[in-house]
Structure 1
Amino acid sequence: MIEDPLLTPYQLSGLNLRNRIVSTAHSSRYTSGGIPTERYRAYQEQKARGGVGLVTLGGSAVVSRDSPPAFGNITMYKDEVVGALERVVDSCRTYGSGVFLQLTHLGRRTTDHTGDWLPTVSSASLREPAHRAYPKAAEPWDEDRIVADFAAAAERAMAAGVDGIELEHYGHLLDAFASPWHLSRLSPDDRARATQLPERVIRAITDVIGDDMVLGVRMAVDERRADGLDLDAAHSLLRRYVALGIRFVNVVVGTIESATRLSEVIPGAGHKSAPFLDTVAEVKRSHPDVTVLHAAKIDDVATARHAISNGFMDLVGMTRANIADPYLVTKIRERRERDIRPCIGARYCLEGGTTGGVVCVHNPAVGRETHLRHEIDTTARRSRKVVVVGAGPAGLEAAHVAAKRGHEVTVLEAASEAGGQVNLLIANDRRRDLAGAVDWRLEQARKYGVEFRFGVFADETIVLATKPDVVVVATGGLARTPSEAGLHLADQVDDIWTVFEQPHRRYGRVLLYDDDGRYPSLDAVEVLAKAGNTVTYASPERSVGVEVGALNFADFQATFDRHGVTFAIARGLHCVEPHENGATMTATLETEAGAPAERVTCDAVFYAGGTNPNDELYHALRAHSSNEGRVDYDAFIRGDPQPQPHVPDSRFALYRVGDAITSRNMHAAILDAHRLALGV
Structure 2
Amino acid sequence: MEAHVYDFDPAIVARDPLLQPFSIKHVTFRNRIMSTSHACGLEVNGMPEEAYQRYHEEKAKGGVGLSMFGGSSNVDIDSPNIFRQLNVGTDAIIPHLQRFSARMHGRGAALMCQITHLGRRGDPYGGDRLPTIAPSPVRETAHRSIPKEMDEHDIDRVVRAYAAAARRCKEGGLDGIETLAGGHLIGQFLSPATNRRTDRFGGSLENRCRFALMVHDAIRKAVGDDFLVGMRFVVDEGPDGALRFDECVRIALVLKEAGGIDFFNAIYGTMDTLAALTVYNMPGMGSPLAPWVEPVGAFRREVGLPVFHAARIADLASARFAVREGKLDMAGMTRAQIADPHIVAKLASGREEEIRPCVGATHCQSQHRPSCLHNPATGRELTFSHVVAKTRGPARRVVVIGGGPAGLEAARVSAERGHDVSLYEAASEFGGQVLIGATGSWRRDLKGIVEWRVAELQRLGATLRTDAYMEGEDIAALNPDVVIMATGGLPLADLERGAELCTTTWDVLTGQAALSGEVLVFDGTGRHPGPLAAERAIGMGARVEYVSIDAQLAEELTYAERTRWKRLFLRFGIRPVPETRLVAVRRQDNRLLATLASDVSGEVSTRLVDHVVIEQGTIPLDEVYRDLRSRSANDGVSDLAAMVRAAPQPRGDREGFELHRIGDAVASRNIHSAMLDALRICSAL
Indicate the residue corresponding to 2:665 in structure 1: 660
SS at match of 2:389: coil
How many residues align? The count is 668
Encode CA deviations 1:445-488: one digit per residue, 9 max, x unaligned. Answer: 111111012111100110011010000000000011124xxx32
CA distance in structure 1 between the partners assigned to 2:611 and 2:458 by the alignment:
42
Does the Cα contact within 8 Å between 1:529 and 1:565 map onto a contact in 2? no
Indicate the residue corresponding to 1:240 in structure 2: 254
Shift of 1:638: 2.2
Which runs of 4 or more aligned residues in structure 1 lie more than 6 Å from their structure 2 counterparts after TM superposition? none
Evaluate the alpha carbon distance shift between residue 551 and residue 67 of structure 1 in structure 2; reply closer, same or farther with a 3 A threshold: same
Flag structure 2 segments of 5+ consecutive residues without an equivalent: 1-10
Encode CA deviations 1:60-94: one digit per residue, 9 max, x unaligned. Answer: 11101000012100011122111122222222111
Indicate the residue corresponding to 2:320 in structure 1: 305
Encode CA deviations 1:479-500: one digit per residue, 9 max, x unaligned. Answer: 11124xxx32353212110111
Shift of 1:373: 1.3
Evaluate the alpha carbon distance shift between residue 654 and residue 595 of structure 1 in structure 2; reply closer, same or farther with a 3 A threshold: closer
Does the Cα contact within 8 Å between 2:179 and 2:232 map onto a contact in 1? yes
In structure 2, which of residues 613, 617, 621 is the aligned counterpart of residue 606 of structure 1?
613
Indicate the residue corresponding to 1:534 in structure 2: 543
Shift of 1:524: 2.3
CA distance in structure 2 between the partners assigned to 1:310 and 1:190 by the alignment:
38
Evaluate the alpha carbon distance shift between residue 463 and residue 338 of structure 1 in structure 2; reply closer, same or farther with a 3 A threshold: same
Check if 1:277 corresponds to 2:293: yes
SS at match of 1:215: strand
> Which residue identity does 1:643 align to in structure 2?
P
> Which residue identity does 1:29 align to in structure 2?
G
CA distance in structure 2 between the partners assigned to 1:303 and 1:525 by the alignment:
33
In structure 2, which of residues 499, 517, 520 is the aligned counterpart of residue 511 of structure 1?
520
**Matching of residues 15-26 of structure 1 within 5 Å:** 15-26=27-38
Check if 1:73 corresponds to 2:85: yes
Shift of 1:131: 1.1
Does the Cα contact within 8 Å between 1:123 and 1:194 map onto a contact in 2? no
Check if 1:638 corresponds to 2:648: no
Does the Cα contact within 8 Å between 1:536 and 1:566 map onto a contact in 2? yes
In structure 2, which of residues 545, 552, 556 is the aligned counterpart of residue 543 of structure 1?
552
Indicate the residue corresponding to 2:594 in structure 1: 587
CA distance in structure 1 between the partners assigned to 2:302 and 2:201 by the alignment:
31
Shift of 1:38: 1.4
> Which residue identity does 1:266 align to in structure 2?
M
CA distance in structure 1 between the partners assigned to 2:596 and 2:347 by the alignment:
55
SS at match of 1:568: coil
Q: Tell me how large the CA RMSD over aligned residues is.
A: 1.5
CA distance in structure 1 between the partners assigned to 2:165 and 2:549 by the alignment:
47
Check if 1:333 corresponds to 2:333: no
Evaluate the alpha carbon distance shift between residue 427 and residue 226 of structure 1 in structure 2; reply closer, same or farther with a 3 A threshold: closer
Shift of 1:636: 1.6
Indicate the residue corresponding to 2:451 in structure 1: 439
SS at match of 1:225: helix
In structure 2, which of residues 302, 319, 331 is the aligned counterpart of residue 316 of structure 1?
331
CA distance in structure 1 between the partners assigned to 2:372 and 2:562 by the alignment:
18
CA distance in structure 2 between the partners assigned to 1:240 and 1:324 by the alignment:
38
Encode CA deviations 1:514-557: one digit per residue, 9 max, x unaligned. Answer: 11112222222233233332221112222222111111111111
Flag structure 1 segments of 5+ consecutive residues without an equivalent: none
In structure 1, which of residues 160, 168, 171 is the aligned counterpart of residue 183 of structure 2?
171
SS at match of 1:60: strand
> Which residue identity does 1:553 align to in structure 2?
R
Encode CA deviations 1:20-76: one digit per residue, 9 max, x unaligned. Answer: 000000111111221112110110110111100000011111101000012100011
Indicate the residue corresponding to 1:494 in structure 2: 503
> Which residue identity does 1:321 align to in structure 2?
A
CA distance in structure 1 between the partners assigned to 2:239 and 2:197 by the alignment:
19
In structure 2, which of residues 157, 168, 182 is the aligned counterpart of residue 145 of structure 1?
157
**Matching of residues 23-62 of structure 1 within 5 Å:** 23-62=35-74
Identity of aligned residues (%): 38
Does the Cα contact within 8 Å between 1:380 and 1:406 map onto a contact in 2? no
SS at match of 2:235: strand
Indicate the residue corresponding to 1:206 in structure 2: 220
Q: TM-score, normalised by structure 2?
A: 0.95
Shift of 1:594: 4.1
Shift of 1:188: 5.2
CA distance in structure 1 between the partners assigned to 2:422 and 2:225 by the alignment:
59
Does the Cα contact within 8 Å between 2:189 and 2:209 map onto a contact in 1? yes
CA distance in structure 2 between the partners assigned to 1:558 and 1:147 by the alignment:
40
Does the Cα contact within 8 Å between 1:530 and 1:563 map onto a contact in 2? no
SS at match of 2:577: strand
**Matching of residues 661-676 of structure 1 within 5 Å:** 661-676=666-681
Q: TM-score, normalised by structure 1?
A: 0.96
Evaluate the alpha carbon distance shift between residue 532 and residue 90 of structure 1 in structure 2; reply closer, same or farther with a 3 A threshold: farther
Shift of 1:607: 1.0
Check if 1:259 corresponds to 2:268: no
Does the Cα contact within 8 Å between 2:140 and 2:272 map onto a contact in 1? yes
> Which residue identity does 2:245 align to in structure 1?
L
Encode CA deviations 1:533-583: one digit per residue, 9 max, x unaligned. Answer: 222111222222211111111111111111111211111223323221x1x
SS at match of 2:452: helix
Shift of 1:225: 3.2
SS at match of 1:458: coil
> Which residue identity does 2:297 align to in structure 1?
A
Shift of 1:600: 2.5
SS at match of 1:631: coil
CA distance in structure 2 between the partners assigned to 1:335 and 1:103 by the alignment:
37
